[in-house]
Amino acid sequence: MRLWAKRADGTEPATLVASDSRSAATGLWSPDGKWIVYATDRGTAGNGDIIGVRVGSDTTHVPLVATPAPEFAPALSPDGRWLAYSKEVNGRDEVFVRPFPYTKSGSMWQVTAHGLLPEWSHDGSELFYLSLGVDNEMMAVSVTTSPTFAVGAPEPLFDVGAYRTCCFGHLYAVTPDDRHFMMLTYPAGRTTPDARVVEVENWLPEIQAKLKGR
């Protein structure tokens, strides 16, 4: 795996941030732009760790969470203080939270009784996650961080059976107002993903025109 970074406006060439002999997924920036966090491929025997790289510093690979059990799908809180992730426990996936980047402080909280693929709300007050194989629902749980980290009771939001999900990485996103979810659906008549890539051009003017006509 090679992880590259490039300015969104394309004004500078891409730079190599990290390389790993293992396959990897779910690369994300920390809110302060000082870290890139990624997970190695849990589908390969002996893999499934969460790694951090200090961008522009020593670029040393820092094992943030690396145990014999597979860890995957990292998600950083909006304030950059907390790392949520999925971990396989006794054959079942669960969501945990640790302080970031001080993941080895010994503090760790289990958020779920059965869940995976966490995402933070944009104000950091909630964690969303999927409960698959049992309820097939999107779940939400409230989060408080002061005086200590604590989670509330989980609440089901909606059924995700009609949407594509994957245990290796995030296949959904939350809108900035935390009121809507963007997810992938299966093509009509199919129960497996469609591997085609569809490019849509000039979509912004079309959306703007439709909004004006509402």
Instruction: Name the most confidently modeled range: 142-156, 169-183, 193-207.
Output: 142-156
When comparing pLDDT for 197 and 24, which is higher? 24
Query: Could you report the per-residue pLDDT of 132-163, keeping only the tens digit for each?
Result: 766 789 999 999 988 888 999 999 999 887 77
Mean pLDDT, all residues of the chain: 83
Instruction: Please report which confidence band the pLDDT of residue 10 belongs to, taking 50, 70 and 90 as the band edges.
Output: confident
pLDDT digits (tens, 9 = 90+) for 40-63: 876 665 578 999 988 876 777 889
Q: Is the pLDDT of residue 94 over 70?
A: yes
CA distance linking residue 109 with residue 120, whole number of Å? 15
Long-range contact set of residues 40-44: C-beta below 8 Å, sequence gap at least 24: 40/1, 41/168, 42/70, 42/71, 42/72, 42/88, 42/167, 42/168, 43/168
Of 166 and 67, the one with more pLDDT: 67
Check whether 128 has a pLDDT greater than 90. Answer: yes
**What band does 35 get if pLDDT is binned at 50, 70 and 90?**
very high
Q: What is the pLDDT of residues 57-83, one digit of tens each?
A: 677 788 999 988 889 999 999 999 999
Q: Measured at the alpha carbon of residue 79, what is the angle toward residues 121 and 145, in degrees to the nearest 5?
A: 75
pLDDT confidence tier of residue 86, bands split at 50, 70 and 90? very high
Sign, CA torsion 155/170/125/105 = positive
Q: What is the mean pLDDT of residues 85-95?
A: 89
pLDDT at 27: 80
pLDDT, residue 185, reads 77
